[in-house]
Structure 1
Amino acid sequence: MLITPKYTPQLGLFHSLGDQLDEKHPLYLLANTINWSVFEDAFKKHYSEKMGKPAKPIRLMVSLLILKYVRNISDENLVEQWSENIYFQYFSGEQNFCADIPCVPTELVAFR
């Protein structure tokens, strides 16, 4: 089932995740260069809004696959590093730091 991303006007008590990062970091720049709506539009037709379990956000899954190939790491290492790396999380569209893994590694296999 396709879910729509939540809009949260107050991202944190003092700063959003993006405010804490170096704006010259390659992943920060790339996150703001990619037109993520192209992926949303292309993939949303494969999801139902009424049936099934709610899916992970499309941007998250696409960004995880991009990071996997750019960093040349396994699915298992990727989800572990994502939970520790604020640049990975910002690239994936997170607004606040999240210490949990974004998905189980097998979900990346299914998304591919």
Structure 2
Amino acid sequence: MYKKHYNGQLSIEAFHLPFGGTLDPDNRWVIFSSLMPWEELEETYVTQFSPMTGAPAKSVRLAFGALFIKQRLGLSEEETVEQIRENAHMQFLLDFAGYSSKAPFDPSMMVHFRKRFTEEDLNRINEVIAERRKAMVIEATSRLQDDDNLQPA
């Protein structure tokens, strides 16, 4: 069973860190969080579950995000879970409300997550991420050029 989740991004300031401070907005996992096509991913993911029966499924952000971290860093399933457990920025990507030192799921769940996304799905998502990242770089470059033009001669 899958219940749609609100895919609005939690703000960095709202992410609870028990040891104080805030997340680094320039951290790669925070940036990836804004580049991910979460709504499109959820549309693909939700079709694989019954809306009324079965055990509740993990959120698309947790399922796909964990696969993304595993693939990006070339980790084993066990190490992926451990890295997520230790890293607040990764937990932000996965839509946690705050940092938790507990394992978010058993490593064996990664097998189930992989079954939910085809190779075609992953390739399409990677293309969307690349396009969004390129647009982000172009926008940042444009802003820098505009700032340079505003400075007095």
State the match for 2:28 in structure 1: 26
Please give the TM-score of this superposition, normalised by the length of structure 2.
0.63
State the match for 2:64 in structure 1: 62
Letter matched to residue 2 of structure 1: Y
Q: Which runs of 4+ in 1 moved over 4 A?
A: none
Aligned length: 106
Q: Residue 27 and residue 57 in structure 1: after superposition, are their counterparts in 2 closer, same or farther (change >3 A)?
A: same
Query: Relative to total residues, which structure has the larger helix share, 1 or 2?
Result: 2
**1:58-108 CA deviation, whole Å, 9 max, x = no partner?**
111000000001111100011111111001101111121122211111111
Stretches of structure 2 lacking an aligned partner (at least 5 in a row)? 115-153
Tell me whether 19-28 or 40-49 shows the greater mean CA deviation: 19-28
**1:3-60 CA deviation, whole Å, 9 max, x = no partner?**
23369xxx8xxx5228811111111111111121110011101011211111111111
Larger radius of gyration: 2
Q: Residue 43 and residue 6 in structure 1: after superposition, are their counterparts in 2 closer, same or farther (change >3 A)?
A: closer
C-alpha RMSD over aligned residues: 2.0
Superposition pairs of residues 1-112 of structure 1, within 5 angstroms: 1-5=1-5, 15-17=13-15, 20-112=22-114
Stretches of structure 1 lacking an aligned partner (at least 5 in a row)? none
The percentage of counterpart residues that share the same residue type is: 26
Letter matched to residue 14 of structure 2: S
